[in-house]
Amino acid sequence: MSELFDEKFFAGLNRLKLMTHIRLDKGMSGSRKSSEKGSSVEFSDFREYLPGDDIRRIDWNVYGRLDKLYVKQFMEEKEAFYHIFVDTSGSMDFGEQKKSMMALRLAAVFTWLVLKQLDRVEILTVKEGRLGKTCPIVGRSSFQRLLQDLEQVSFEGTTGISKAVHQSTINGRGVCILLSDFLDPEGVEDAIRYLVYKRQEILLIQILSKEETDFYGEGTLELEDMETGGKVQVTMTRQTIQMYADAVTSHKQSVEKLAKRYGCSYFSIRSDEELEKVVFQTLKKVWL
């Protein structure tokens, strides 16, 4: 059992199901209906077999002719494709309860739920304007391998969310989940605009640490930028602490306003929250 989960939490995951608001027009055999008309037994097309596919869908006649495995694809049984973007910049590795751990745990939670409903998912890391890709994961049998991969992810460097997201290959409607503190000088609007253009349903989850949202220290402090390494001395008084609190609130509101402008779902959570509370209360109310 991975340290990301315990058996009790796994049992809770089995009671959840992702609810999306999109109607898919591309994909493969899965658990949801597409926008195309036809019954669930109406044949549509063939596609190449991938590990984890239902072997009952294999067309052995095609195999006999081409010596390659293909599965049948039906009209209404189109699977969704979920893309989970995880901000792995240095700022995410902050806090007594690190934002990075919450991001990895949520990525694992969403992956488990997607696999449970027989859809496809890939996790993409975002760092320094570059996109790190994992192979699309098919079937719950690959979940433990994914957890091992997630535990090896490093958090360092700058962000560059929009530049990285533009490098993604997204075909057909689907769901994109962004896990980040969104402390990116270049902002995230270009990334959202690109995903909207790609006809994605978008979920923004902003993760901040307790130390970032509840700052009480006074006196002269040396602050270090965890992404660039730059340092600055700041004298914290009640007035500057209030200015800082206002800046944090403004930052959260700016991301939320972007979400509303482009029709995205948005949640702000803290890295020290119990994962069960985040999943079973905060996210479940609207999105699960």
Dump pLDDT digits (tens) for 78-114. Answer: 567 899 999 999 999 988 899 999 999 999 888 888 8
Give the Cα separation of 151 and 145 in Å (integer).
Answer: 10
Nearest to 124 by CA among 87, 98, 174, 92: 87
Average pLDDT over residues 230-252: 80
Query: Residue 40: its pLDDT value, please?
Result: 44
Mean pLDDT (the chain) is 79
Other CB atoms closer than 10 Å to residue 58's CB: what's the count? 15
Asked if 80 and 32 count as a contact pair (C-beta separation under 8 A), the reply is: yes
**HSE-up of 13 (CA within 13 Å, CB side)?**
21
Q: What is the pLDDT of residues 109-157, one digit of tens each?
A: 888 888 877 788 889 999 999 988 765 576 667 787 888 888 889 899 8
Dihedral sign for Cα 278, 280, 282, 286, please. positive
User: The whole model's pTM is what?
Assistant: 0.76
